[in-house]
Chain A
Amino acid sequence: MLVVLVLILLPLIGAGLTAWGRSDRVNHRVTLLVGIAHVVASLYCLISQQNPFPAGWWLAVDPLASFFLVILSHTFLLVSLYSPGFLKRMAGPEYEPSKRLFYPGLNFYLLANTLVLVVQQFALIWVVLELTTFSLVPLIFFYRSRESLEAVWKYLFLVSLGLIFLFVAVLFLGVSAQGAADYTGLVVSRMVSAAPQLNPFWLKASFIFALVGLSAKIGLAPMHPGDVDATSNAPAPVAALMAGSLRSTAVLVLLRFYQVVAPTKVQPFAQKLLIFAGLLSLAVAAVYIWRNRNYKRMLAYSSVEHLGIISVGLGIGGVALLGALLHLLFSSFGKAALFFMAGNIHRSYGSREVERITDLIRRLPWSALVWAIAFFYIVGTPPFGIFFSEVFVLKGMIHGGNWVSLCLFLALLMVSFIGMSRAVLRMLQMPEPGTSTLTVANPERLNLSHVLGLYAVAVSVPLALLQPAALFDCLHTILAGFGAKL
């Protein structure tokens, strides 16, 4: 039960203390302590595979929840380590109101996301998923500029519209269970047990609405614009949180619906839908990455691309499902590193336009190094983790004989890769007009953000190569739950 207290009550206490506290240093320490305790509790859940709640309850830490808890808490810890440096740079009085809300917002975000992961009742999942949106509003609005206000408005509006679709999905799921299971239950485990008796018509309708509704939160096309605007206009640590953990949380909700669909005749339909949504997202991301001139928007579209890969992997099933889950974990590392470096670049150049970033290697040598490594990481270069997860997805497509999807998948990945390379290499190498010397007055020094970025990309290598038993046992249990065969 101590684990439950740490996972749920500690972020709540953290939110309360940081809202009450006036010192940034104390608030940071409280948030960091909450983050460390959350990581320890999440790892304990992953390793022990014990659900501290009675079976059939509205709360549970099942293998799926424990895997996603690790992604959430790890990203949160990285962000809470990065945040003091970021807040120190935001020195003006105009940032004071935002700074007061920053740490309470982070803690509340952790609480809301943890609740989404451990709640097992579909209607309650909908309620707490709305809380994750509320928790992000003050964080996205940090700069209090017109762009951030527009981003907040669009995010709030589009995600809330998406959540209306999700509620329709929950209603239809309930209707599909009428006469088959304990209707008022709507508890995941009970619904999975009763899955073969569910009405296929309503179950199909429920899955369609769930996918469309959650697309706004996950960042899948065509509901991605709100998410892209918010991610690209939020401060670096918030963007890292959104790209690294919020989208995974929304994917988990989609997987909860998929858990119910998997043992039924509706599964092939759901798989086709997931593959279609994934390929559509890859296509949209490829087009916008290619023509984008704003590097933060490019990173936001890169997240759409990776969620597309994950969606395709979920739809293919089998070994591709393993690839999709690993991709969720590994892309969260890469996104944190990239957004941290994007924050450093933005601070130094005061612009998000690719064309205004010149001579990055000389001006910000450490940020340029991590930026370049993180770029190679995110495009799936070996030996980084994303390479292996993409190989698993490709392997699943080849095993399943999905040749058309495979060709489209590879072609779209190639377009995104070239589009991203053009921007990243230009930023790194384009000389600053009018300068010819090789020395820079105040070269950047190594700081914590670089260490965090390097750690984030490096940690995936041993995870992918050594395949730790605790992680892969958990993943195999999840795959078995979906009936996936490797």
Chain B
Amino acid sequence: MINVLTILFCLTLIYLACTTRLTAYVLILVLQGALVAGVHTLAFFGDFSWSHIVVAAAVLLVRTVIIPLFIIRIIRQLDLGHGDRTRRYHPGFLIQMSAIVVIAFLIANQLSGLASVSVIPLGAAIAGMAGGGLLIVRRRLLLAHVVGFLIIENGLFLLGIGVQAQMPWVIELAGLLDLFVLVFLMGIAINQLKSHFPEAERVELTTLQD
């Protein structure tokens, strides 16, 4: 079942490469949040403890409700509701994303020969981290960068499952809090950009360079 969920996670990455709408990006974040919470619950199903339930519930709450709602609010505040396309659709992005997913699974397969890892979750994790990075590089809208960052974070969460690492639950919750504060600060920064420089949410940040 974990494998099914992680493959679904990879499909969300393919969908990410097909769409250019910000609202679709938020939907992808909600789906990925639910999938990683599901993977976390299943991974520790045999080793039941309340701490795992608390972490899974917190993941579900932060990644599928609080952060997506916050991003929707920013989209409304920035008045990106109608023309919310990050840029024109380009098939090259889909090809690159597909290549990333394939290469990620090949790397995970190679790593399985060197150490004890779960190949499919590890492959999905590498694909998620690289896919989020690709989104940041390909899309220039700042909000798309935040979405890319969150997808990398989702990949990171799967990586913990993939390499069979188990963090103390307090750390997992503190990490989630950090993530929320970070997204919150990024949202404030985007809003400040809008209020100080009305055209700024669509321009590139290139004032500071050598």
Q: Does B1 contact A (CB under 8 A)?
A: no
**Are B189 and A149 in contact (CB-based, < 8 A)?**
yes
**Are B165 and A171 in contact (CB-based, < 8 A)?**
yes
**Are B156 and A184 in contact (CB-based, < 8 A)?**
no
Q: Does A146 contact B (CB under 8 A)?
A: yes
**Are A201 and B114 in contact (CB-based, < 8 A)?**
yes
Q: Could you say which residues of chain A place their CB within 8 Å of the CB of B116?
A: 178
Cα distance, A30 to B157, chains bound together (Å): 41
How far in angstroms is the closest Cβ of chain A from B35?
19
**Are B189 and A174 in contact (CB-based, < 8 A)?**
no
Q: Does B163 contact A (CB under 8 A)?
A: yes
How far in angstroms is the closest Cβ of chain A from B138?
16
**Are A144 and B196 in contact (CB-based, < 8 A)?**
yes
Q: Does B145 contact A (CB under 8 A)?
A: yes
Q: Could you say which residues of chain A place their CB within 8 Å of the CB of B145?
A: 157
**Are A288 and B196 in contact (CB-based, < 8 A)?**
no
Q: Mark B123-159, 1 if CB is under 8 A from A, else 0.
A: 0000001000000000000100100010011001001
Segment at the B interface, from A122-130, A260-268, A383-391, A426-434: A122-130
Q: Does A172 contact B (CB under 8 A)?
A: yes
**Are B181 and A134 in contact (CB-based, < 8 A)?**
yes
Q: Could you say which residues of chain A place their CB within 8 Å of the CB of B175?
A: 123, 126-127, 167
Q: Does A353 contact B (CB under 8 A)?
A: no
Q: Mark A134-152, 1 if CB is under 8 A from B, else 0.
A: 1001000100101101111
Q: Does A62 contact B (CB under 8 A)?
A: no
How far in angstroms is the closest Cβ of chain B from A332?
24
- Mark out the residues of chain B between 90 and 105 whose CB falls within 8 Å of any chain A CB in the assembled complex: none
Cα distance, A160 to B164, chains bound together (Å): 24
**Are A147 and B160 in contact (CB-based, < 8 A)?**
no
CB-based nearest B residue for A152: B189
Q: Could you say which residues of chain B place their CB within 8 Å of the CB of A134?
A: 181-182, 185
Q: Among the listed A144, A150, A183, A288, which residue makes an inter-chain contact with B207, where contact means beta carbons less than 8 Å apart?
A: A150
Q: Does A297 contact B (CB under 8 A)?
A: yes
Q: Does B186 contact A (CB under 8 A)?
A: yes
Segment at the A interface, from B3-11, B21-29, B59-67, B166-174: B166-174
**Are A156 and B171 in contact (CB-based, < 8 A)?**
no
Q: Among the listed B115, B129, B156, B189, which residue makes an inter-chain contact with A175, where contact means beta carbons less than 8 Å apart?
A: B115
Cα distance, A137 to B181, chains bound together (Å): 12
Q: Could you say which residues of chain B place their CB within 8 Å of the CB of A147?
A: 207-208
- Interface extent on A, as a size class? 35 or more
Cα distance, A134 to B189, chains bound together (Å): 12
Q: Could you say which residues of chain B place their CB within 8 Å of the CB of A183?
A: 166
**Are B207 and A146 in contact (CB-based, < 8 A)?**
yes
**Are B171 and A123 in contact (CB-based, < 8 A)?**
yes
Q: Does A362 contact B (CB under 8 A)?
A: no
CB-based nearest A residue for B153: A164
| Interface class of chain B by DSSP | helix
Cα distance, A172 to B111, chains bound together (Å): 12
Q: Does A305 contact B (CB under 8 A)?
A: no
**A156 touching B186 in the complex, CB below 8 Å, given contacts A149-B196, A164-B152, A297-B210:** yes
Q: Could you say which residues of chain B place their CB within 8 Å of the CB of A123?
A: 167-168, 171, 175
Q: Among the listed A149, A157, A175, which residue makes an inter-chain contact with B164, where contact means beta carbons less than 8 Å apart?
A: A175
**Are B115 and A161 in contact (CB-based, < 8 A)?**
no
Cα distance, A141 to B115, chains bound together (Å): 45
**A154 touching B208 in the complex, CB below 8 Å, given contacts A149-B196, A171-B163, A175-B115:** yes
Cα distance, A167 to B185, chains bound together (Å): 20
Q: Could you say which residues of chain B place their CB within 8 Å of the CB of A347?
A: none
How far in angstroms is the closest Cβ of chain A from B41?
19
CB-based nearest A residue for B192: A149
Cα distance, A387 to B178, chains bound together (Å): 40
Q: Does A485 contact B (CB under 8 A)?
A: no
Q: Does B106 contact A (CB under 8 A)?
A: no
How far in angstroms is the closest Cβ of chain A from B144?
12
Q: Could you say which residues of chain B place their CB within 8 Å of the CB of A146?
A: 196-197, 200, 207
**Are A168 and B156 in contact (CB-based, < 8 A)?**
yes
Q: Among the listed A124, A149, A178, which residue makes an inter-chain contact with B174, where contact means beta carbons less than 8 Å apart?
A: A124
Q: Could you say which residues of chain B place their CB within 8 Å of the CB of A292?
A: 210
CB-based nearest A residue for B168: A184
Q: Does B69 contact A (CB under 8 A)?
A: no
**Are B115 and A168 in contact (CB-based, < 8 A)?**
no
Cα distance, A199 to B189, chains bound together (Å): 42
Cα distance, A156 to B153, chains bound together (Å): 15
**Are A154 and B171 in contact (CB-based, < 8 A)?**
no
Q: Does A44 contact B (CB under 8 A)?
A: no
How far in angstroms is the closest Cβ of chain A from B195?
10
Cα distance, A141 to B171, chains bound together (Å): 29
How far in angstroms is the closest Cβ of chain A from B65?
21
Q: Could you say which residues of chain A place their CB within 8 Å of the CB of B182?
A: 130, 134, 156, 160
**A150 touching B208 in the complex, CB below 8 Å, given contacts A123-B168, A168-B159, A175-B165:** yes
**Are A202 and B115 in contact (CB-based, < 8 A)?**
yes
How far in angstroms is the closest Cβ of chain A from B34?
21
CB-based nearest B residue for A133: B182
How far in angstroms is the closest Cβ of chain A from B197?
6
Looking at B181, B186, B196, B208, which has the most chain A CB atoms within 10 Å of its CB?
A: B208
**Are B115 and A199 in contact (CB-based, < 8 A)?**
yes
Q: Could you say which residues of chain A place their CB within 8 Å of the CB of B174?
A: 124, 127
Additional pairs, 6, CB under 8 Å, beyond known A174-B167, A288-B210? A127-B171, A137-B189, A153-B193, A153-B205, A164-B129, A172-B163
What would 12 A/B residue contacts be, using CB atoms closer than 8 Å? A123-B168, A131-B178, A150-B208, A153-B142, A154-B208, A168-B159, A172-B163, A175-B164, A201-B115, A202-B115, A232-B208, A292-B210
